[in-house]
Structure 1
Amino acid sequence: MIRLEDLTKKFGSVVAADRINMEVPEGEICILLGPSGCGKTTTLKMVNRLIEKSSGKILIGGRDTDTMNPVEVRRGMGYVIQQIGLFPNMTVEENICVVPRLLKWDDAKAKRRAAELLELVALDPAVFLHRFPRELSGGQQQRVGVARALAADPPIMIMDEPFGAIDPINREIIQDEFLRMQKTLRKTILFVSHDIDEAVKMGDKIAIFRAGKLEQYDTPDRILAHPASEFIADFVGTDRTLKRLRLITVEDVRDDGMGFVSDTDDLGYADALMRERRVESLVVVDDRKVPTGWIHAEQAGGRIGPVASRLRPLPVVIRSDADLRTAVALMFTHDMTWLACVDADGRFIGRVTQASITHRLGDTYRVRPAIEPAAIPKGAVA
């Protein structure tokens, strides 16, 4: 969808962007990351022609933007900035309708679109449509800024540190809402950030810049597991293994072969099953296969009666679609070495253990995954 070929920008003798080559596939989020003055914002603004390039090419959907009017380029892209930029003398509805009206939409259609978008960003149209920006919190203003960028349903969004001025709690909420929207909308997004944690959470790909050069362009997991240089390793941080926990789900590491018993089963059966599976404990489920507790070998061996008479309560369970950061946090909080995994309906489907998490992370460090040559943009470090 977006392809940059030897894209270069010079301000006098200063090279702000030096032969940038990268491609952002349709429907993906690409995070531009790097220290201040590295060229990421300059590259972003060249894409929507707020800054004119010195040389190279920018292709949008295969079309060279040199053949397009700059206004046409910008109207095909939603633009969100850190300062939000809402017009203070306009209501929320009027702010969202700015671009649709420039595109000559009829008034009723533009207003319908504004109401739809407020619902999409989790703001009640009945409450917020006719408020002015000064009547909104910072987080609410940012949501309106995103809604305005989406107003004309552009295929591409350009975002310059859009959540940087929001407090950490609201930033997390807005990031989650945005990712929820993206699952449905599948926009192609260029997103400048200074926050590696935000980049790991939000990006399908990350492009890391230094001194105007693209140092590495890859998936978040590959960048964290295999930084291309000492600079990249230092930039993503010494805790990069912990950052990777966000990228892997419980489903990826769960073990469905560790066994379970029903709360109506006999203790002797539970003891025999633990010996057969060579495990020290089993999850106990009810007749709907919902976990009700767990039983240790010490409670089952040499005893009679139903499992329910000896089970221990489970302090917590985890859904299979949760990330491993959540899993590890729950293990530490409850002093456990494993968690029972459940599906969306709460049914038991296996366990995740500290050992399985450690093994999964270790595998990717021991063997670097092969990268298709076409996946490495010209000029990037593989």
Structure 2
Amino acid sequence: MIRLEKLTKIFDTPNGQVVAARDVDMEVPQGEICVLLGPSGCGKTTALKMINRLVAPTSGKIYINGEDTSKLNDVELRRSIGYVIQQIGLFPNMTIEENICVVPKLLGWKSDKAKNRARELLDLVGLDANLFLKRFPKELSGGQQQRVGVIRALAADPPVMLMDEPFGAIDPINREIIQDEFLKMQAEIKKTIMFVSHDIDEAVKMGNKIAIFKEGIIEQYDSPDTVLAHPKNAFVADFVGADRTLKRLRLVTVEEVADPNAPTVSGHAKAKDALSAVQNSTVNVAVVIDGDHKPVGYVTAEMLEGARGNVRDLARPLPAIVPFRADLRAVVSEMFAHDIMWLATVDDNGRFVGVVTQPAVTGALGETYRRNVARAIG
């Protein structure tokens, strides 16, 4: 857990004093990611650097897991915190294994324990330890180097990680891949993380909480959904963008809104027998499934009425299928692309698990508004 109390930093400059951060109060619960956002010069990086004392606070307190960090010396403090920067900072004259083992060895770990940790962490981010341990940084791509930079910060198993725009220099495709790998890793290791970004989309994807800074002051600190649905003031609304409702599509998965009771029919069924199933559907559709419960097409009441033969002879191909782990951006994109109001969704094995509809998407986006209205009334 990270807790900041009245944290303030004032720089003395030739032109007078500059307030970089003023009375910053916030708490990041254990195992969660907090993303610091705001325009350039707003104080977010200064706030981050005060935590590991790369910038000395002017006043205020910093607690990590309940311990007042002012009672620790600089070296002791920094060795207990993982730190990842945009420039990666790998030592070019060291192998990947040596880079990862730097802090564990400083902490007195035995060589075998440190090396095993390096191998374990490489596997965790999808890099084959047998291929990468003995390579030098220049032999890796930028995306691979960034992964090593992240796991090096984890090598000594610190309780807290600080990340300063760690994925900012990576191209969009690799950035998405590395973000996904990091979130998978975080689901296992559950570190408490403070994360500086300039990208609202990245913050929505990565953060459990978002803190939006302006001129050294936190304007709003809340969940991504609440920040997007209920910006506290005009500055926050402008910063997160006029398309903030669309950004919320990233926060909801297909699994959360799909109807698992949507009707299905076998391709071997008679058309007349399938008609009642379709008529009971809210979208006037039944999904045709094969023997493995995988979707292979669809039929409508109009197609079945008065028809003879089997369903498979009448079924049409599904215009699109979405994985149940996908977010609602994928759903809306496919609905627009195919001019449809519903989509079939499948699990990791390709089996049909339900139908997601346009009204369900709209309802999910409205849920936060309804919760907040109810809270205000109550």
Q: For 2:282 and 2:179, how far apart are their aligned partners in 1?
A: 43
1:336 matches 2:340: yes
Q: For 2:114 and 2:351, how far apart are their aligned partners in 1?
A: 45
Residue 94 of structure 1: SS of its match in structure 2? Answer: helix
The residue number in structure 1 matching 2:269 is 265
Q: Return the match for 1:345 from 344, 349, 371.
A: 349
Give the alignment of 1:96-135 within 5 angstroms. 96-135=100-139
Give the alignment of 1:96-175 within 5 angstroms. 96-175=100-179
Q: State the shift of 1:241 in Å.
A: 1.1
1:91 matches 2:92: no
The amino acid across from 1:345 in the alignment is N
The two structures, once aligned, show a CA RMSD in angstroms of 1.7
Give the alignment of 1:1-382 within 5 angstroms. 1-12=1-12, 13-277=17-281, 279-365=283-369, 368=372
Q: State the shift of 1:315 in Å.
A: 3.4
Q: For 2:282 and 2:36, how far apart are their aligned partners in 1?
A: 49
Aligned residues: 372
Q: For 1:14 and 1:307, how far apart are their aligned partners in 2?
A: 73
Structure 1 residues 175-208: Cα deviation after superposition (integer angstroms, max 9, x where no partner): 1111110011101100000011110110011111
Contact 1:115 1:129 (8 Å CA) reproduced? yes
Contact 1:157 1:190 (8 Å CA) reproduced? yes
Q: State the shift of 1:368 in Å.
A: 2.1
Q: For 1:85 and 1:44, how far apart are their aligned partners in 2?
A: 17
Q: For 1:275 and 1:93, how far apart are their aligned partners in 2?
A: 63
Q: State the shift of 1:367 in Å.
A: 5.0
Q: For 2:282 and 2:191, how far apart are their aligned partners in 1?
A: 49
**Structure 1 175/301 Cα, relative in aligned 2: closer, same or farther at 3 Å?**
same
Q: For 1:371 and 1:191, how far apart are their aligned partners in 2?
A: 30
Contact 1:258 1:279 (8 Å CA) reproduced? no
Q: For 1:224 and 1:66, how far apart are their aligned partners in 2?
A: 35
TM-score by length of structure 1 reads: 0.93
Q: State the shift of 1:347 in Å.
A: 2.6
Residue range with higher mean Cα deviation, 172-181 or 352-361: 352-361
Gaps of 5+ in 2: none
Q: State the shift of 1:369 in Å.
A: 5.8
Q: For 1:300 and 1:268, how far apart are their aligned partners in 2?
A: 7
Q: For 1:65 and 1:370, how far apart are their aligned partners in 2?
A: 40
- Aligned-residue identity in percent: 63
Structure 1 residues 256-275: Cα deviation after superposition (integer angstroms, max 9, x where no partner): 34422221222112223333
Moved over 6 A (4+): none
Structure 1 residues 81-136: Cα deviation after superposition (integer angstroms, max 9, x where no partner): 01111111111111111101111111222122112211112212222212222222
**Structure 1 37/181 Cα, relative in aligned 2: closer, same or farther at 3 Å?**
same
Q: For 1:256 and 1:131, how far apart are their aligned partners in 2?
A: 49
Q: State the shift of 1:356 in Å.
A: 1.6
TM-score by length of structure 2 reads: 0.94
Q: State the shift of 1:305 in Å.
A: 1.8
Gaps of 5+ in 1: 373-382
Residue range with higher mean Cα deviation, 305-314 or 180-189: 305-314
